[in-house]
Structure formats: C-alpha cells, structure tokens
Amino acid sequence: MASDTCKGAENITEFYSLYKTCMLHNVDFRSYMMKCITTMTLHMDKIEFEKDKRGTVTGYKAHHITSDVLDKLMPWNMA
C-alpha cells in the first residue's frame, strides 16, 4: 500500500486493520462498512467535524454517539 501523505498512510492502515478484523470474525467488509456509514448518517448531529477555511471536512473533532451504538458496530459484535 502506498500514499502521498502521512495522513493518507494512517487512513489506509486504519481501513486495512478494519478489513482484517472483519476477516478474522467472518464479517463481510462491504456489509460492515455500509452498516457503519448508515449508522454515522443517522447520528450526524452527534459528530463534530474539523473543517478548513472553505468549509471542507478534513477530519473530526469529537463525537457524542453512545457507547451502546458504537459497541454494536464492532466487527466482533456483528458476526
């Protein structure tokens, strides 16, 4: 895997780690990601994003999503 930036490399390694964790727990990665994206969409009002001068989202500052919701998204809880 390769990236032009350190931040890009960090993002790639995080996704790869999720991918391998899903494999370890026999969870389909695409289904897992769809579930995560759907859940995040439902809780957008609880996520604080970092933005640049133009308003482009560059990361996140914090979230206020309950641990119950997040626990359900762990690959080992979806198997």
Taking only the tens place, the pLDDT of each residue in 25-75 is 999 999 999 999 999 899 989 999 999 999 998 888 898 999 999 999 999
Q: What are phi and psi of 27, to 5 degrees?
A: -110, 130
Residue 48: domain span: 6-78
Is 11 a member of any domain?
A: yes
Tally the domains of the chain: 1
Is 53 a member of any domain?
A: yes
Is 32 a member of any domain?
A: yes
Is 1 a member of any domain?
A: no
Q: What is the DSSP string of 19-54?
A: HHHHHHTT--HHHHHHHHHHHHHHTGGGEEEEE-TT
Question: Are the CB atoms for 23 and 29 separated by under 8 Å?
Answer: yes
Confidence category of residue 1, pLDDT binned at 50, 70, 90: low
The pTM score is 0.73
Is 27 a member of any domain?
A: yes
Question: Are the CB atoms for 59 and 50 separated by under 8 Å?
Answer: yes
CA nearest neighbour of 49 among 33, 35, 61, 67: 61
Is 45 a member of any domain?
A: yes
